[in-house]
Structure 1
Amino acid sequence: MLPRLRARLPLLGTVWRLSLPVIVSNLLISLVNVVDIFMVGRLGPLEIAAVGMATSVRMLVLIGIMSVTAGSIALAAQAYGARDARALSHVARQSLSLTVLLALLLSVVGWLLAEPLLRILNSGGDPQAAALGAAYLRILFLGTVLLALNLVINSLMQGAGDTVTPLYITAGANVLNILFNYLFMFGPGPLPALGVAGAAVGTLIARFIASVIGLVILYSGRNPVHILPGSYRPDWGMFRDILAIGVPSGLQGVARNGAQVFLLGIVTSTAAGTYGAAALAIGLQIESLAFMPGLAISVAATSLVGQALGSWDPEEARRRGDTAIVLGVLVMSLAAVPIFALAPQILHLFDPSAHPTVIAAGTSYLRINALFLPLLAVAMVTNGTLRGAGDTRPGLVGTVIGRCLIVVPLAHLLALTLDFGVVGVWWALCVGTTIQALWVALRWRGTRWQGVALRKTALYRRHLGGLSERVQRRFLQEVRTPLMACLGASEAVEEAGVRYTLPEGRGAAFVRFREGTFEVAEGREHLPHPSSAAAPKRPKAAAYAHD
């Protein structure tokens, strides 16, 4: 056990180095949200209510954009792992094209529905709050393209293993966001004081600058993602691949947030009432800080697993994924200790004047959920490993089963029927976390995700898809795996076949596909044995079963 752990230490360091900038980026985003609320608070309670309601509606937009970013990071990682600069550039261009089209659609829908949605959310409240929120939202919806571009550019870089540049972009955007928000909200000097609308204008300008900087970097050739000359015309096959990976990730957020609404209703029906709802809200805010390392390690896992599969090394992909899961469990287990030990003190820190019921319910929430943070780490990071393979449906299914089909009815049974109160809801949440973790872990322990990754490649779409499974396995084991194992080798899919270029001028190999089989037309000497030999035994990590 000790030698195995010692052998994993360099990889643990790699995962952590990729994760740390993502953690800092998330902290900066949280910080700018806090500063925004602080500045809006200087305007008055109606303005705070308006921004709060508008933020709930904006979450729907972010879920839509995630349908692109989740697919982009996975496909960018695989193209980068294949060392195919043209494929990576194509993924980048198509991700940007799809982002613009989707963002324009969301802008139009959001503009039309902003006021009706806020009226529903503000039912019984001051109509002025809905009006202020609608004005704020409509300005933001005008800049949906900018927000979406900013997010997808960061995702492309993260997929290629660069998490530092997105950190710099995020840090710069957040500083500008705070600066412009202040200028346009309060109007010092000759500038007009736009109030809540000024916060939206400031955010828009900051996102515009960040998007321009991101695009300049992608075109500069100084980033692992380099956009080469080519067309932005929609490639519907690539769009389908991006959305096939991303839409389940987006729907996960819908299922999770939808279940949360039902749970809130159950909590307020217990003896704790609205105090229980307050405890849940504060508990989720505190817990979100513990989530940050897990989410960051999940992003690193997506990048590392995707890159290993791009160079077609499933065993290395599994080793990287396992290491990321171990690191996630270790980090979130450490985070659980102070949360469990200092739960009442942490709650008082967030709400010094909290009601005793809020403190009691919040303490039980934090302590019960702290016990299950390691399992939550398994669920979160394993989702990231599977995302690297483009296999996002198991995460969605696990969320629907765990959160919607198990947690909600179990919470009702424990909290209301059996009269355990809010503690019953907390335990139901932990049961759901356990089910989600087991579901995705079982998928990761198998090999079906390798087949999912293979079917997302241009190589499969153009050539391997027409071959039998036996011939596919033979090609992968005899040709692709040994050639891509050469450090610096690259793969380029062409109309007639696939070309492998070896590093340091060592030559190249070209494989042609026809009549249900393949032949090595050039570079046979680079293979460990002739491809015409009898088909070898099936490799233990290569069961490419179809879903």
Structure 2
Amino acid sequence: MPSKKIISAQRQTDATAIITSGHIWKAVWYLAWPSIFNTVIMAAYNLINRLFLSYVPNAKPSIAASGIGGNALMYMFVIAVGLSAGTSALVSRSLGAGKASDAEQAARQSLLMSVGMGLIAGVPFCLLARQLVWLIGAKPQVVPLAADYATIIGWSTVPMFVNFIAIAILRSQGDALSPLYVGIINITLNMVLDRILILGYGAVPGMGIHGAAIATLAARLAAMAASLWFVRRSRLRGCLRQWKLDISWLRRVLAIGWPASAQSLMMTMASSGFMRVLSMLPNGQATDAQAAYSVAIVIEALAFQPGLAFSAAATPLVGQNLGAGKPHRAIHGAWVASGQAAAIMGVIALSFLLIPQYLAKPFVHGRDLALLPVIVAYLRINSFSEPFLALNMVLRGALQGAGDTRMPAWITFVSMWLIRLPMTWLLAIYFAMGASGAWWAMSITCCLSGLLMALWFKFGNWRDARV
């Protein structure tokens, strides 16, 4: 009787066959549906997390702190995103070309780098978290809470990086189920601990936003252990042995990864700049706008999380088909994934347009009811951009699978830095449109970046990217 490891490895071999042959819609859904389920429960968790925080006494500073602290933590993702991009491109292209040993070596070197980079990035971040949240635009009453939140979660940088890369290794093999199981473990533990630690339970006192951070730290440790366990059962399980640095492979991973990191850094810094502009709003509007944004972005995740799922599906779909010498199938698969994501996100966005008040009301109570119209405006204005956001997200994932990470970085620079930030200041501050002006700047630039990404995918020379 075959062992569970052999069965698991055989399932991943079968996944490669599905990805590189057969009906393209079947291949897209085979890769996407576990990720869709995973992102839906992630969105549900984020909603519940904000809901718990909304019941903390004087909730508005805590909600704003979670948004600003979360924004600061995005700087940690910059490195993880780059490593993940290099890992995904090299592993998927190698497997598509039938070079399992190369895929294993790419996975091994990426895991090694994830540990080293996690230490290098995590320690300074924890030491400088207070200064960072202040730079982002936290108001004086929010700075201590946001800094504590970011610092506690910051100590989970190494587990987060390792988990990020392990998930990329699994998905690049066409295994979308194992990351789903990891996500369920992570989210379930986080939700249970949130309920206990944020609001208190029995003998455990409520710790508010500090409890939310501790819950996330514990859940990330569990997720790392689970993802490595699944890698150990995969056909690339050899990447967990013979850990020795190989400079040539490190360079290959970083050559693909650094533009993706640069893109992620530009997005994160632009998001920080966006929060900074919100902090300039007069007459007490700043904290309201920041708190409203922290809630609204979590509600909006109901729409854009499916885009992340189809993006994750497009990466191995394009990478493995290019490696197998099937560029036309890679292109067709990316467009199919983009169309499906745009349709799903567009349908969900209708609820933002038609019933935003019902989506927002559970998150505001008592004296925080002033946030309600600000959240409603955000949801209505950004509902128009969701299909374009789908194009941006999915085609970016497809280009990542091809190893083209440079043009997406340029598109991000143009849309976020040359257009969004100046437009946000002009509309929100100069023309005194307040938070609604900022929401319009966000929506317009989301549409623009989606169109630019589609034009590059249609007419660009990304198929010639070398990995």
**After TM superposition, is the score higher than 0.5?**
yes
* 1:396-415 Cα deviation digits (max 9, x unpaired): 11111111101222344445
Tell me: higher relative CO, structure 1 or 2? Use CA pairs within 8 A at least 6 residues apart: 2
Is the contact made by 2:185 and 2:222 (CA closer than 8 Å) also made in structure 1?
Answer: no
Counterpart selection for 2:335 from 322, 330, 345: 322
Counterpart selection for 2:89 from 51, 57, 74: 74
In the superposition, the TM-score normalised over structure 1's length comes to 0.69
Paired residues for 1:46-195 under 5 Å? 48=62, 54-114=69-129, 116-117=131-132, 124-125=140-141, 129=145, 134=148, 140-179=153-192
Larger proportion of helix? 2
Instruction: Measure, in 2, the Cα distance between the counterparts of 1:242 and 1:248.
Output: 11
Instruction: Measure, in 1, the Cα distance between the counterparts of 2:375 and 2:197.
Output: 38
* 1:338-374 Cα deviation digits (max 9, x unpaired): 2222234333344366889755554444333222222
Equivalent AA in structure 2 for residue 346 of structure 1:
L
Equivalent AA in structure 2 for residue 77 of structure 1:
S
5+ residue gaps, structure 2, are 1-20
Secondary structure at the counterpart of residue 233 of structure 1 = coil
Equivalent AA in structure 1 for residue 360 of structure 2:
L
Residue 256 of structure 1: aligned partner: 267
Counterpart selection for 1:25 from 38, 44, 53: 38
Q: Choose 406-415 or 269-278, whichever is displaced more.
A: 269-278
Residue 235 of structure 1: aligned partner: 246
Secondary structure at the counterpart of residue 381 of structure 1 = helix
CA RMSD between the two structures: 3.8
Residue 376 of structure 1: aligned partner: 389
Instruction: Measure, in 2, the Cα distance between the counterparts of 1:187 and 1:43.
Output: 14
Equivalent AA in structure 1 for residue 141 of structure 2:
G
| Post-superposition offset of 1:35 | 5.1
Paired residues for 1:402-413 under 5 Å? 402-413=415-426
Instruction: Measure, in 1, the Cα distance between the counterparts of 2:263 and 2:410.
Output: 8
Equivalent AA in structure 2 for residue 244 of structure 1:
A
Query: Aligned residues, how many?
Result: 441
Is the contact made by 1:86 and 1:228 (CA closer than 8 Å) also made in structure 2?
Answer: no
Cα gap change, 1:77 to 1:58, in 2 (>3 Å): same
Q: Which has the larger radius of gyration?
A: 1
Instruction: Measure, in 1, the Cα distance between the counterparts of 2:207 and 2:157.
Output: 20
Instruction: Measure, in 1, the Cα distance between the counterparts of 2:206 and 2:377.
Output: 45
5+ residue gaps, structure 1, are 1-7, 457-547
| Post-superposition offset of 1:13 | 3.7
Cα gap change, 1:207 to 1:351, in 2 (>3 Å): closer
Instruction: Measure, in 2, the Cα distance between the counterparts of 1:9 and 1:354.
Output: 57
Instruction: Measure, in 1, the Cα distance between the counterparts of 2:62 and 2:389.
Output: 32
Paired residues for 1:144-543 under 5 Å? 144-179=157-192, 203-220=216-233, 223-227=234-238, 231-264=242-275, 266=277, 269=281, 273-274=285-286, 275-277=288-290, 279-351=292-364, 359-417=372-430, 422-452=435-465, 455-456=466-467
What percent of counterpart residues are identical? 28
Q: Choose 274-283 or 289-298, whichever is displaced more.
A: 274-283
Secondary structure at the counterpart of residue 263 of structure 2 = helix
Larger proportion of strand? 1
Residue 13 of structure 2: aligned partner: none
Cα gap change, 1:118 to 1:317, in 2 (>3 Å): closer
| Post-superposition offset of 1:323 | 1.1
| Post-superposition offset of 1:310 | 1.4
| Post-superposition offset of 1:93 | 0.6
Instruction: Measure, in 2, the Cα distance between the counterparts of 1:110 and 1:174.
Output: 24
